[in-house]
Chain A
Amino acid sequence: MIGNYIKIAWRNIKKQPFFTFLNTFGLAIGMSGALLISLYIYDELSFDEMFKDADRIHRINVDIKFGGRVNNLAEVSDPVAATLEKDFPQVEMTTRFRNRGGLLIRKNDATLNVKENITSYVDATFFDMFGLELLFGDSKTALNEPNTLILTRTAAEKHFGLEEAIGQTMLLNNTDTYVVTGVIDDFPMNSLLRNHSVLFTMAGYDDASLNNWGSNNFATFVKLVPTANPEDFERSLQSLFGNYIVPYAQAIMPGITEEQFIASGNYFNFSMINIKDIHLHSNRFPEMSANGSIQNVYILSFIALFLIILAAVNFMNLSTAHSLKRAKEVGIRKTLGSNKIELIIQFLTESGLISFISLVFAVLIAILAMPFFNELADKDISIPFANPVFWGVLLFSGLLLGLLSGIYPAFFMSRFIPVKVLKGSEQNGVGGGIVRNVLVVFQFAISIFLIVSTLVVFEQIKFIQNKDLGYQKERVLIINDVYAAGNQVQSFKNNVLQLAQVKSVSLSSYVPTPSSRRDNSFFEEGVTQQEKAIQMQQWNVDFDYVNTLDLEIIEGRDFNQQYSTDSLSIIINEATVAVLGVEPKEALGKRLTPNWGEENIRYYTVIGVVKDFHFRSLRNNIDALSLVIGSNSNSLIVKLEEGDFSNTLSQIEKKWKSVVPGQPFDYYFMEESFSDTYSTEKRLGSIFTIFSLLSILIACLGLFGLAAFNAEKRIKEIGVRKVLGASVGQIAYKLSVDFLKLVAIAIVIAVPLAWYAMNRWLEDFTYRIEISWWIFALAAFLAVLISILTVSFQSIKAAIVNPVKSLRTE
């Protein structure tokens, strides 16, 4: 019997190519979109699962509130790891990482340095902790000795060749020698260690054994014993505060007690997070690598679900509309003795077959779209062809979708009454109009929701990009690692300043694009209470910094080389003035120190107040910040005049190479870096755009088909109207207006939902747009325009048919 159903299903599919195309294409688009998103989500959820015993590996976090500031840190003090191993029997082992950032390194006999961007110090327990083996070298000893490092496969191939790296010597920052004691495979892209190229041994690194409970710079991982209860262990972490942090603090600030600390509203809370949860659930400072967002996973899951629902709704709508053509067959079958169940199974077989065909097309579409999708999503996903589980799940899901989509049409069609459908007046037997209309409204409501969301995301991105940040980011060139010029760095700066297109130059490591920087604790002169400490960034700059970046001094003055006292001058921003609780003018002359409690306290005098400028993401408020004169020459900041930069750039490069031959000339434009900060939002915007377009396409396919069937159903009416004198336009309007009413209802439903959802998304940004009315108007207009274009084709086509043809059967 099933063979009979499949045979008939196949013949039905072939017999109605237009309907089959609409259904198959609509389903295929929905399926392929959902497939790509599912692969993306699977990848996101798979982060760090590859490590052995990942269930037992946790990172220690700490949340500190002090001096009015809250810090949610992903790093803890250097002694935490050893203390956990000593005091807690639940801990099997610990491993620490200390970020070393980007650095210049070369093999000993090379002349040219190479920039390695992501490097860390790491404890020797690293291999055991994560269950990793070396490709070359002995993991038991590779990180035991000072001045040793391991390279990843890519780094080893770059510097030496894979098999030649072991035992080789490398020169770091032109000064320090390291021996390569191991080569490890590249870390997977779905791992927090991804993109690391060099790991340095912690052995011999002084900061690693300072026993400094007051400084939090080490990403610390623990592996619990199999019998340990993670929740109990996490609760017991808090004892670190009373047992170690408080005594440490009391040594610096005698008289402070734990009770006073807490009573003042401060806290020092330890917690932990499993390594597999870090990627999607941790948003602390600083993360080892850029994390995803569980919010985005939810958003994408909803989009995938929307696409599938849209495609399924399309299928249901087209099938029930198309039921006109199947009514007679249902009547005959029932007359001949078929029962409802047999009819339902027959129709479900057809929908299952269409779904299977759609699935094949969906996989093809996904394969073709994969490179583009990977670029959009910044991923490296591929279809796991060799994985039978994947195919099983895909096939099952596709058939399930077909069955679920086909259930309603199957039940609908099996209800036809033979006497009503067999006499040739099929229209009498066909109902379901209300349900179809509801489904059309639903489809367009989703599409309009997505259009509004897309417009809002892009408006927010535009707002961010155009917002006055309080400093000049256009035409500002940053040259990295200029410290490599050693004592020639000042002369290099002066040489660059001579170039015609160069307006101003400054030496500083501090560039106002979002980056991980820590606050220092400052105290006003005469203030000693810890809770009155000012948590503030301290940026070491030179005398040209304010001018080069076009910062605005609103009170007092800029640094001036004429004043020798400016070596102990400080410029603060408006946020700092607010913390001080005074007017900007009153802040001038105040004395602040970053090293209260030390032997030789150094006070800085406030000489100027700079207008607030954004140095963090626009998701955050502007925090307290200060500028002091100091030598910190990681970067050269070059402000350029308008025009073509290529000549100036090559001149600067030439000067650089003449000053420091063998050093890479590494630069970027500040505007690019700023733009990269919001790559997540841009990516989200692009994803929204694409899936909005897909959802509209699916909805339009459905509307196109419904319009066709509507016209077919009313062919007699059209013929009669034409005979009575109606014009093509009048008939086309009559056929279209009912659909436009549905779109109008969809607009009324979608707009408030979209407004609410996008306002919630925007709450994440401190600096954000207000959603203007024109966004909703534009979305509504687009929806109406698209539906008019879709429906009018069929309406006009029906309207120009010769009435003789349509009335002939009457």
Chain B
Amino acid sequence: MIKIKDLDKYYSTEELQTIALNKLSFEVKKGEFVAIMGPSGCGKSTLLNILGLLDDSDGGSFIFNGEEVINYNERKRANIRKHNIGFVFQSFNLIDQLTVFENVELPLIYTGVKKSDRKKKVHEVLEKMQIMHRRNHFPQQLSGGQQQRVAVARAVVNNPKLILADEPTGNLDSSNGNEVMDLLTELNNQGTTIIMVTHSEHDAKFTHRIIRMLDGHKVTENSLV
């Protein structure tokens, strides 16, 4: 599904160049659940942004679903992103002015799904996430765990091929965190590829493979299966 080779990313100021990713290479197969771990500043989030086509790289190759996307412009990247990738963030990143229903509906609006179909799909996924009873509430009215479940619902409503999760349990207590990890595991069991950045060894155990990074390059790669 994903193949990156010799991926580079620099951040430059007037006086300084910081290397965020340094000739990074790995593959992720369809249906895998991969954790990316490493100390702060190792480049995990940068990698996730590139994998999510939110950022571009300064060198290397990135093949997504058989397509070389490294030189794609923003419009093309946005198109691939909205049809294929779902995001789950540490700080949930729900839109406060929208209800639960409207937040989850948003990706369907951007992919041009008809209103009647949107309603059906949103209801389905809210039921699945057991948050249907809160569909008319606003994010501020939910607990952290509930917000993250809404965020997961939003990430999957379009049936993406890939979910990118950036520290999905980082702002949750252990109980809610486990709930979220169970959700992700279930999604993966249903065939969704998941790449998760995490600090938590506990959460990493839910995955098939752990890629450890340091200073922008891969240090180790362990399979847990």
Q: Chain A: residues with CB nearer than 8 A to chain B?
A: 1, 4, 8, 11-12, 15, 328-329, 331-339, 342, 418-419, 422-424
Contact = CB atoms under 8 A, between A and B. Distances in A.
B93 A337 contact: no
A569 B216 CA distance: 111
B110 A419 contact: no
Given A8-B98, A12-B97, A337 B82 contact: yes
B75 A15 contact: no
B89 A337 contact: no
B97 to A, nearest CB: 5
A336 B154 contact: yes
B111 interface: yes
Contact of B95 (A332, A334, A339, A424): A332
Given A1-B109, A419-B49, A422-B89, A335 B54 contact: yes
A341 to B, nearest CB: 11
B107 interface: yes
A170 to B, nearest CB: 75
8 contacts: A4-B109, A328-B93, A336-B87, A336-B107, A337-B82, A337-B111, A339-B75, A422-B93
A339 B78 contact: yes
Contacts of B45: 423
Contact of B97 (A15, A339, A419, A422): A15
Contacts of B19: none
Nearest to B111: A337
B187 to A, nearest CB: 18
Contacts of B97: 8, 11-12, 15, 329
A335 B94 CA distance: 12
A178 to B, nearest CB: 77
Given A329-B95, A422-B89, A423-B45, A336 B110 contact: yes
Interface string B65-106: 000000000010011011100010101011111100000001
Contacts of A12: 97
A333 B106 contact: yes
Interface in B39-65: 45, 49, 52, 54-55
Interface residues on B, range: 20 to 34
A426 to B, nearest CB: 12
A419 B54 contact: yes
Given A331-B93, A422-B93, 6 more contacts: A15-B96, A15-B97, A337-B81, A338-B110, A339-B78, A424-B91
Nearest to B49: A419
A288 B94 CA distance: 71
Nearest to B138: A11
A2 to B, nearest CB: 12
Contacts of B94: 332
A448 to B, nearest CB: 37
Given A8-B97, A329-B95, A423-B45, A335 B55 contact: no
Nearest to B75: A339
A698 B54 CA distance: 40
A418 B50 CA distance: 12
Contacts of B154: 336
A362 B78 CA distance: 42
Contacts of B111: 337
A15 B98 CA distance: 11
Contacts of B82: 336-337
Contact of B78 (A4, A337, A424): A337
A331 B93 CA distance: 9
Nearest to B55: A419
Nearest 5 Cβ contacts at the A-B interface: A337-B82, A337-B110, A11-B97, A419-B49, A336-B107
Nearest to A1: B109
A418 B95 contact: no
A238 B98 CA distance: 77
Give the most central of A331, A418, A424: most B CB within 10 Å.
A418
Contacts of B98: 8
Nearest to A14: B97
Contacts of B96: 15, 329
Nearest to A334: B78
Most buried by B among A15, A336, A337: A336
A336 B91 contact: no
Contacts of B83: 337
Contacts of A418: 54
B197 to A, nearest CB: 12
A101 B83 CA distance: 85
Contacts of A11: 97
Nearest to A8: B97
A5 to B, nearest CB: 11
A331 B49 CA distance: 12
B89 A342 contact: no
A337 to B, nearest CB: 3
A332 B110 CA distance: 12
A336 B54 CA distance: 10
A335 B95 contact: no
A321 to B, nearest CB: 19
Interface in B3-32: none
A418 B95 CA distance: 14
Contacts of A8: 97-98
Nearest to B81: A337
Contacts of A15: 96-97
Contacts of A331: 93
Nearest to A11: B97
Contacts of B49: 419
A335 B87 contact: yes
Contacts of B54: 335, 418-419
A4 B95 CA distance: 14
Nearest to A424: B91
A424 B170 CA distance: 14
Nearest to A330: B95
A342 B82 CA distance: 14
A328 B79 CA distance: 20
A332 B81 CA distance: 12
A342 B110 contact: yes
A610 B81 CA distance: 94
